[in-house]
């Protein structure tokens, strides 16, 4: 039987010889790594993220064959920490955590749209709804006449909807220019919750929060972990 490593192939006896002579040349793969770890260290519990859990599920047969047991697995806590000042701004603009996971310019546009006077919102909504209704009826009729004509109608309708959305963006941009604090608030929210368009836990070190909030932070994390929620949590601290 031959075993392949990269472009090279080895027999079982060759691999055993390498293991005896130069064991540092051989290391377990991602699937074998947790099995080796648990064999050497006697692990009582594995805490992992989504990718690690997926690998662990594939390693189940290896655990049964090599260790004759399976180490218990617990999903790690995944959360975004929201400071009081950021929570206040989010409440003011009615922004929840999923809505904050966008680039700052996109969030600023959303805040500008929400800041528009109610009369402007109603006019834009009425115009957009009327346009969609009329275009839907018109393109359906043109499709019934001829497929090519219908395809051309779809293209033209798409351009009209684009211009309607452009009017919405223009109105939102005007509000942003008139109220400069909106862009600043959007930048602050994304900087703290979605830095460099990545999850907070991937960019901001936990030590920073620990230094800022002290012993209250671990207690808040432990309390949040008690929910046993496998999804992403938002924790106000």
List pLDDT tens digits, range 180-189: 889 899 999 9
pTM of the model: 0.64
Q: Is the pLDDT of residue 230 over 80?
A: no
pLDDT at 216: 85
Q: Rounded to an integer, what distance in angstroms lies between the CA atom of residue 103 and that of residue 105?
A: 6
The arithmetic mean of pLDDT across residues 114-142, rounded, is 93
Q: Is the pLDDT of residue 96 over 80?
A: yes
Answer yes or no: is pLDDT of 146 > 90: yes
pLDDT digits (tens, 9 = 90+) for 50-94: 888 887 878 888 888 888 888 888 888 888 999 999 999 999 998
Averaged pLDDT score across all residues of the chain: 88
What is the structure's pLDDT at 6? 80
pLDDT surpasses 80 at 132: yes
């Amino acid at each position: 039987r031959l075993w392949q490593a990269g472009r090279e192939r080895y027999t079982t006896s060759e691999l055993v010889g390498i293991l005896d002579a130069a064991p540092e040349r051989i290391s377990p793969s991602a699937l074998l790594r947790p099995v080796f770890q648990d064999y050497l260290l006697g692990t009582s519990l594995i805490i992992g993220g989504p990718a690690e859990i997926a690998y662990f599920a594939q390693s189940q047969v290896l655990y049964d064959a090599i260790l004759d047991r399976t180490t218990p697995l617990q999903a790690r806590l995944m959360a975004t920490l929201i400071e009081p000042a950021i929570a206040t701004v989010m409440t003011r603009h009615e922004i929840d955590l999923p809505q904050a996971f966008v680039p700052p310019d996109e969030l600023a546009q959303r805040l500008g749209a929400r800041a528009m006077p109610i009369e402007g919102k109603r006019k834009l909504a009425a115009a957009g709804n009327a346009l969609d209704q009329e275009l839907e009826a018109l393109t359906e009729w043109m499709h019934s006449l001829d497929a090519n004509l219908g395809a051309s109608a779809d293209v033209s309708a798409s351009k009209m909807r684009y211009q309607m959305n452009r009017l919405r963006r223009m109105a939102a941009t005007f509000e942003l220019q008139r109220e400069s604090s909106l862009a600043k608030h959007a930048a602050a929210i994304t900087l703290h919750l979605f830095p460099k368009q990545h999850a907070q836990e991937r960019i901001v070190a936990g030590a920073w929060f620990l230094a800022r909030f002290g012993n209250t932070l671990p207690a808040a994390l432990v309390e949040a972990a008690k929910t046993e929620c496998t999804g992403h949590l938002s924790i106000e601290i």
